[in-house]
Every structure is written in structure tokens, then in C-alpha cells.
A = this chain, B = another copy of it.
Amino acid sequence: TKDRYQSNDYAGVVTGLAWTAVGGEILFVESSLSRGKGSKLTLTGNLGDVMKESAMLAMEYIHANADLLDIDPAIFEHWNTHIHVPEGAMPKDGPSAGITMVTSLASAYTQRKVRKKLAMTGEITLRGKVLPVGGIREKILAAKRAGITDIILCKENEKDIREIKPEYVEGLNFHYVEDVKQVLEYALLDEKVDNPKVFTIPEEKA
């Protein structure tokens, strides 16, 4: 069944765009933290190896750029991270959820709200470069149908948008980026979610 955009009530939930044999679709990347013994990363949602590597890259980016987001690095040593991409029965793969995953993690770690009616698609590299992805036309149609109004894409995907008939992209605003920093600046609001989680750190034993 075709999903619709839902809300930005939850920290760590970000809308991505997928392209399958039967056309474009929106998907949701969910991240959640829980107290534990160290920086364990759990991945669920029937993810293929390339998509799992995207999640590892996203986690590493957040880890290496914690200061950018005002995240206390001690959190990584006392909280575990779980990334899930529903629906569980559908196999998913490819690198195009990279920027969605890094935004999901950034929101989960900061408890900041994600911008409303926003979707995104793009590969990330370890240094934070955003790379172009395929299936842009199908993904855009799916986003519009789902009630999305703003879409983040790689600058190199701008040419793919220009090839789409204007009426199909009417009502959609495109935000072209080259670096993950630009994604996070646009996608994350300053406002925190209601009842934000507080990530406590155990006191050092003296």
C-alpha cells in the first residue's frame, strides 16, 4: 500500500524516497537510542549490504561530527543506536537512503524536530559529500502523491528535475545540496520534539 507523509512528532523519523520495480515510494527511516554498554549499532528492516553500509557511514559521520550538532561525545559510549526502515517484510537495498539516515540519527541524538512535509534522497560519503542517485522521476512523483512539499536532492540531480514536465513538479520545492552539513541545516528545526528524551551519562567513579 502507498504510504502518505505522516508528521514530524517523533524525533528520529525522516521520510526518504525509494525506487523499486513497481515505481517510486516514500519510506520512513526511524532511529532510536537506548542505554547500554557501548556504541552498538543495530539495523533492522530487511536491509541489504549496501544499505547497511550507508547506515554505518551515517553513524560514523554523526560520531565524527558531533560538535557540529552539539552532541556530547560521551553519549556514544553509553547509548546504543537502532535504525529501522519499515516495512519489515520488504527487502531494501542501495545507497540512496544515506542522507535520510544521517538526518534520522541527527534528529534522534539532538531530539530536534525534522522539517514538515520534507523528503530526501541521496548517497553520503564518509567525509560528508552528497552523491547523486537514480530513479529521480519516479521518486518525485511518489513524494508529491504522498503529500510532500519539500525535497532535498544532490546538486548533481538538478538536471534530472529539469527533465520532468513542469506540471509534475508543481507545488514541490527542491533543495539542492553538495554536503551533509547543508542537509542537516535545512532538515533539522531548532525546535525540539515534545517530551524530548534526555541522554544521561553515568558519573565517572572518582
Q: Are A35 and B73 in touch, CB under 8 angstroms?
A: yes
Q: How far is the CA of A30 from the CA of B123 in the complex (A)?
A: 15
Q: A74: nearest residue on chain B (CB-CB)?
A: B35
> Which of B28, B73, B88 has a CB less than 8 Å from the CB of A53?
B88
Determine whether A182 belongs to the interface, using a CB cutoff of 8 Å to chain B. Answer: no
Q: Which of A43-51, A166-174, A184-192 contacts B (4 or more CB under 8 A)?
A: A43-51
Query: Contact: B82 with A123, CB < 8 Å?
Result: no
Interface size bracket, A side: 35 or more
- Most chain B Cβ neighbours within 10 Å, of A45, A86, A98: A86
Interface status of A149 (Cβ within 8 A of chain B): no
Please state if B86 and A123 are interface contacts (CB–CB under 8 Å): yes
- Chain B hits for A49, CB < 8 A: 46
Judging by beta carbons under 8 Å apart, are B89 and A95 in contact? yes
Residues of B within 8 A of A50 (CB): 46, 88-89
Which residues of A26-61 have CB atoms within 8 Å of chain B's CB atoms? 28, 30-39, 42, 44-46, 49-50, 53-54, 56-57, 60
Distance of A8 from chain B, by nearest CB (Å): 12
Most chain B CB neighbours (cut-off 10 Å) among A39, A76, A88, A197: A88
Min Cβ gap A193→B in Å is 11
A126 touches B54 (CB 8 A): no
Q: Which residue of B lies closest to A87 (CB)?
A: B131
A92 within 8 A of B: no
The 8 listed contacts between A and B (C-beta, < 8 Å) are A34-B60, A36-B38, A42-B56, A44-B57, A50-B88, A57-B84, A86-B126, A89-B95
